[in-house]
Amino acid sequence: MELYELMREAVLDGDEEEAVRLARQALEEGVNLQEAMDQGFLAGIQQAGQLYEEEEYFLPDLVCSADAMKSALAILDDTLKSSGGQKTEKAARVALVTVQGDVHDIGKTIVGAMMTASGYEVYDLGCDVENEKVIEEVKRLKPDVLGLSALLTSTMEEQESIIRLLKQEGLRQDVKVIIGGAPVNQTWADKISADGYSDNAISAVKLVESLLKQEGGAA
Ligand code: B12
């Protein structure tokens, strides 16, 4: 528990170097990475967010916390990628993006890390990506699943716009669309005809598994 507490503090303090050191330590000690994320780094960014809401933290503090979190995640993500996860015979392809106008990419990155660890071929399209560019990438990469992240109430509508564009381009049948992000919920997913919604990275993996099963496996 000591390690998780240090991780939480490193993110809270915006101490990038320490967060990276602790991520490496976690790998060396072989601790459960999901637990380290949830109880360590994630707890830190959530607390930073809380302090921001209470106006004890200002935006620069939050940026530092987010940077520390991202650098630590990158270390864990690299390892998950190089270990390759539990490879299935034909890994389904998952493209993930944070929608246009939105720079919040921590949640999407965690979802990507969990998908990678579960053996999916993950394409991270980045954050604040224009809708037209997302469509281009769907045409180019032909993913089985497209995950759309939005953290702002003002950007969640882009999820709807992207689904509309997929329909217009005749691509909607070819790709399962899942959505996530703090302001999003199942009601919104139903309203915009997304194929699924999840509020965390673990259930996002389960969601993808069940969607791919429904269509009789990845194409
Ligand atoms: C860190 C943070 C930032 C960082 C982002 C850094 C980065 N690279 O991501 C910085 C400082 C840059 C930032 C900026 C801003 N932020 Co901000 N930010 C946050 C904060 C504190 C945490 C977000 C986060 O990373 N959470 C941790 C992750 C792991 O959780 P998550 O994103 O929800 O992801 C999980 C699930 O949602 C799900 N999930 C996420 N995506 C997906 C996708 C799919 C497909 C699936 C299936 C699941 C899934 O799984 C994830 C893992 O479990 C939140 C507050 C909060 N409590 O959410 C505010 C918050 C989102 N920000 C907010 C605001 C207002 C802003 C700014 C407008 C502030 C400003 N005045 O400039 C700007 C917006 C800039 C922009 N255009 O995007 C508001 C949004 C209010 C609203 N309802 O619209 C919030 C809620 C804070 C608040 N209460 O005021 N922010």
CA-nearest residue for atom 35, ligand 1, is 107
Of ligand 1's atoms, which has the minimum distance to the CA of residue 197?
Answer: 47
Task: Check if 44 has its Cβ closer than 6 Å to any atom of ligand 1.
Answer: no
CA-nearest residue for atom 70, ligand 1, is 59
Pairwise CA distance, residues 118 & 47, whole Å = 28
Within 10 A of 12 (CB to CB), how many other CB atoms are there? 22
Pairwise CA distance, residues 214 & 181, whole Å = 24
Of ligand 1's atoms, which has the minimum distance to the CA of residue 179?
Answer: 45
* 78-119 pLDDT, tens digit each: 776 665 544 445 679 999 999 999 999 998 988 887 787 677
Pairwise CA distance, residues 48 & 56, whole Å = 9
Max CA pair span of the chain: 52
Task: Check if 178 has its Cβ closer than 6 Å to any atom of ligand 1.
Answer: yes
> Token pair 């560019």 is at which residue?
133
Q: What is the CA(46)–ligand 1 centre distance, in A? A: 10
Name the strand (E) or helix (H) holding 173.
none
Pairwise CA distance, residues 76 & 79, whole Å = 5
What is the reported pTM?
0.84
Lowest mean pLDDT among 12-26, 51-65, 73-87: 73-87
∠143-90-170 over CA atoms, to 5°?
Answer: 25
Contact 35, 8 (CB under 8 A): no
Task: Check if 71 has its Cβ closer than 6 Å to any atom of ligand 1.
Answer: no
Task: Check if 106 has its Cβ closer than 6 Å to any atom of ligand 1.
Answer: yes
Instruction: Kindly indicate the confidence band of residue 157, based on its pLDDT and cuts at 50, 70 and 90.
Output: very high
Pairwise CA distance, residues 86 & 88, whole Å = 6
* Percent of the chain clearing pLDDT 90 (strictly above): 63
Name the strand (E) or helix (H) holding 134.
helix 131-141
Residue 185 has pLDDT above 80, yes or no: yes
Sequence length of the chain is 219
Q: What is the CA(148)–ligand 1 centre distance, in A? A: 14
* 17-43 pLDDT, tens digit each: 999 999 999 999 998 887 888 889 988
Q: Which residues of 122-131 are buried (b: 16+ CB within 10 A; e: fewer)?
A: bbbbebebeb
In terms of Cβ atoms closer than 10 Å to its own Cβ (0-12, 13-18, 19+), residue 99 is buried
Q: What is the mean pLDDT of residues 130-141?
A: 98
Q: What is the CA(115)–ligand 1 centre distance, in A? A: 20
Q: What is the CA(104)–ligand 1 centre distance, in A? A: 5
Q: Which has the higher per-residue pLDDT, 59 or 143?
A: 143
User: Which of 104, 123, 129 to probe ligand 1 with, by most ligand atoms within 8 A of CB?
Assistant: 104
How much helix, strand and coil, in percent to the nearest 5, is found in the chain?
A: 60, 10, 30
Instruction: Kindly indicate the confidence band of residue 219, based on its pLDDT and cuts at 50, 70 and 90.
Output: very low
